[in-house]
């Protein structure tokens, strides 16, 4: 049912405890015949303790258990559950944006050298390799507990980086006791690596400013060069999700929990299994923050060598995470576990978790487009209707297999470079899988996001060069 031009409602039925709410235009609604994500929205609404609604962002598409672009909050003190499927396999996957002290015209003569340097300096793909070669198990433990804070302490960055990073660079309640040996093995040699799939490192330019005061506060101006990095917790986060889904599958019967899809395996937040997952998830989140910190530092070195210019961190924000937060629900302040899967936290001006120097404009929201298309910087707004959450990107409409069948990587690179976008890819298939037409129109997604009252636009960025796994 269409409630407004950008808000659709799925009435509770079957085992749904709350309605489903989809923020989208009619054009962005998933094709029910090819994309079961709306059914997943309804399934999420059956979780014990869920409050408000099961929300879907304009970039929603089919995922594991939860749709990607799904948001759900459960009441911790009323038996609310946490579900690893509500975070996903790439725990704390997110976006880091850095701004340069030069313009696109100044960069032009050095762009080739910058892209070649980034190509050499950025480990990616499925192979092992990292910017940071950890000294052993003890140092990995420090990364899991300290995230970007530990990385900066070891000389990989500056103190200001932490001020412009979600949670000041590290989740404080991380616990490594429930991080398996297999997860540690997978993560030990990947700190400072991009990975593959939709992960990227992109050199961009500010193409349009929509909100001058917010852009100025963020440190952005017209024609300025920026770098956007999109990656997460690599094999370590994937293994933690896998391990805890299996644990919760076995535990649900003990807690009398039934779900319509085994991929929604869950346990009460306050249970032993719930606490173990949240601690391990937080450790993976810290790993992801450190991973992006290292990639950012590597990028800074390349820029300094090739251009003599510096990069400052605008912000670093996750879009795959569950957090214990306090929100007003039905007029009452409640402690809730907010699952954001393919959804970005979007805090308004004045919120205590917004950096002090940005308090007057709100938290930066970083929304990448598909390869070759624009990306956006937005900010949170007061009264956001989905637990201060918004979209995370364009959202897929074709699987990677379908995309690879539709276009050759060689042809895609030729077309992008004909549009003056330099491309450095690890494989032709990897490029083909991320073809722009495999995704929704990011401009339409952002328009629906703003129209639904989830956040507001600050700036548009256009690509100059991209490094892909």
Question: Which residues are marked as active site?
Answer: 392
How many CB atoms neighbour CB 189 within 10 A? 18
Residues 433, 180 contacting (CB under 8 angstroms): no
Q: Measured between alpha carbons, how far is 332 from 330 in angstroms, rounded to an integer?
A: 6
Which residue carries 């298939």 as its tokens? 429
- Where does residue 440 fall: left (phi above 0), alpha (psi -120 to 50 degrees), or beta otherwise? beta
Report the first-to-last Cα separation within the chain, whole angstroms.
Answer: 40
Contacts for 232 with CB less than 8 Å, ≥ 6 apart: 90, 91, 92, 93, 94, 195, 199, 288, 291, 320
How many CB atoms neighbour CB 300 within 10 A? 21
41 to 72, 249, 293, 322: CA distances (angstroms): 9, 20, 33, 17
Write out the two tokens for 265. 């395996």
Phi and psi at residue 323, to the nearest 5°:
-135, 145
| Measured CA angle at 292 (ends 149, 468), to 5 deg | 170
């Amino acid at each position: 049912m269409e409630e407004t031009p950008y808000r659709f409602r799925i009435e509770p039925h079957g085992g749904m405890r709350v309605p489903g709410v989809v923020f989208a235009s009619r054009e962005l609604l998933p094709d029910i015949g090819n994309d079961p994500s709306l059914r997943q929205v309804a399934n999420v609404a059956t979780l014990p303790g869920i409050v408000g609604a099961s929300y879907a962002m304009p970039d929603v598409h089919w995922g594991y258990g939860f749709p990607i672009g799904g948001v759900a909050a459960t009441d911790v003190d009323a038996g609310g559950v946490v579900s690893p499927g509500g975070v996903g396999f790439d725990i704390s996957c997110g976006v880091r944006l850095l701004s340069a002290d030069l313009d696109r015209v100044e960069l032009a003569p050095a762009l080739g050298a910058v892209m070649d340097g980034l190509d050499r300096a950025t480990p990616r793909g499925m192979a092992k390799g990292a910017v940071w070669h950890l000294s052993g198990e003890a140092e990995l433990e420090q990364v899991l507990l300290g995230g970007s804070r530990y990385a900066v302490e070891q000389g990989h960055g500056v103190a200001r980086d932490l001020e412009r990073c979600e949670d000041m660079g590290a989740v404080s309640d991380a616990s490594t006791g429930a991080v398996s040996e297999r997860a540690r093995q997978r993560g030990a040699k990947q700190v400072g690596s991009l990975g593959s799939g939709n992960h990227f490192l992109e050199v961009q330019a500010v193409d349009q400013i929509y909100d001058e005061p917010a852009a100025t506060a963020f440190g952005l101006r017209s024609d300025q060069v920026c770098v956007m990095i999109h990656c997460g917790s690599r094999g370590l986060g994937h293994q933690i999700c896998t391990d805890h889904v299996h644990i919760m599958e076995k535990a649900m019967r003990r807690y009398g929990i039934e779900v319509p899809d085994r991929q929604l395996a869950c346990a009460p937040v306050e249970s032993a299994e719930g606490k173990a997952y949240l601690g391990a998830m937080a450790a993976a989140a810290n790993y992801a923050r450190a991973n992006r910190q290292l990639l950012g530092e590597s990028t800074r070195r390349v820029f300094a060598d090739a251009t003599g210019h510096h990069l400052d961190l605008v912000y670093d924000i996750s879009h795959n995470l569950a957090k214990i937060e306090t929100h007003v629900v039905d007029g009452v302040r409640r402690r809730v576990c907010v699952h954001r899967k393919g959804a970005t936290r979007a805090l308004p001006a004045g919120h205590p978790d917004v950096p002090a120097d940005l308090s007057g404009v709100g938290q930066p929201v970083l929304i990448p487009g598909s390869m070759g298309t624009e990306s956006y910087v937005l900010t949170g707004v007061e009264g956001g209707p989905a637990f201060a959450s918004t979209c995370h990107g364009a959202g897929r409409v074709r699987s990677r297999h379908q995309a690879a069948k539709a276009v050759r990587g060689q042809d895609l690179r030729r077309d992008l470079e004909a549009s003056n976008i330099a491309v450095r890819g690890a494989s032709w298939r990897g490029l083909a899988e991320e073809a722009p037409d495999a995704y929704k129109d990011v401009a339409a997604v952002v328009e629906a996001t703003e129209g639904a009252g989830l956040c507001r636009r600050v700036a548009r960025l256009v690509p100059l060069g991209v490094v892909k796994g």
